[in-house]
Structure 1
Amino acid sequence: MPVSGRRHRALTEDNDRLLKDNRDLIEQVGKLTAQRDALEELVQLLSARPQAVPVRPLGVGWVPAAGLRASEAARAILVDRLEMLQQANMSLREVAA
């Protein structure tokens, strides 16, 4: 179907803009995917760390306070990383939609 010169130029510019937007989105998806993969790896590493803390019933023994603090710090880091992972997943879903 023949089109006028102005219409052809407008369609060409629109196509170029859409191709550029597509390249930008693909690049953004690649970055978000890499970030998500890095966070998943971190979550796996933190999850694999021993979390067991020897706690004895009240009055029977002692509770290693340093171990409890380390465990709580590890949980806090894990929660922070999980939140970042969820945000990365949501961003990736928004870009894909």
Structure 2
Amino acid sequence: MPISGRRHRALVEDNGRLLAENAELLKQLTAVTAERDARDDIILELSFRPKATQVEPLGSGWVPASYARASESARALLADRVELLQQANMSLPGVAA
């Protein structure tokens, strides 16, 4: 099916625009994937931390402040991640608010 020069030019321009948009979307996908992988690594690292709380001998119940701070930091980090996941799930098409 023959096409006019004007139509051909319009198709070439559309193709160029779509290729540029595709390249931009691939850049965004790469950035988002890297961010997701970094978050997954953090969560994986947190999941491998020892579960038992170290205490002083004779069961005095003393917990070093650094362990308490690390635990609070981990909880805050996980809470942020849960909030991000909830926001992402709610933004999916077909999910009722």
TM-score (norm 2): 0.65
Any stretches of 5+ residues in structure 2 without a counterpart?
Answer: none
Q: 1: distance between equivalents of 2:41 and 2:61?
A: 35
TM-score (norm 1): 0.65
Q: 1: distance between equivalents of 2:52 and 2:76?
A: 16
- Give the count of matched residue pairs: 86
1:14 is aligned to 14
1:58 is aligned to none
Q: 1: distance between equivalents of 2:78 and 2:50?
A: 13
Which structure has more RCO (C-alpha within 8 Å, separation ≥ 6)? 1
Matched, 1:64 2:63: yes
Percent of residue pairs bearing the same amino acid type = 51
CA RMSD of aligned residues (A): 3.1
Q: 2: distance between equivalents of 1:78 and 1:51?
A: 16
* Aligned AA (2:34): A
More helix, by proportion = 1
Matched, 1:78 2:40: no
* Aligned AA (1:40): D
Q: What is the DSSP-based 3-state SS (H/G/I as helix, E as strand, rest coil) of the residue aligned with 2:41? A: helix
Shift of 1:50: 2.1
* Contact 1:54/1:64 (<8 A) preserved: yes
Any stretches of 5+ residues in structure 1 without a counterpart?
Answer: 56-60
The 5 Å alignment of 1:36-75 reads 36-53=36-53, 62=61, 64=63, 66=65, 67-75=67-75
2:29 is aligned to 29
* Contact 1:46/1:78 (<8 A) preserved: no
* Aligned AA (1:26): L
Q: 2: distance between equivalents of 1:82 and 1:71?
A: 16
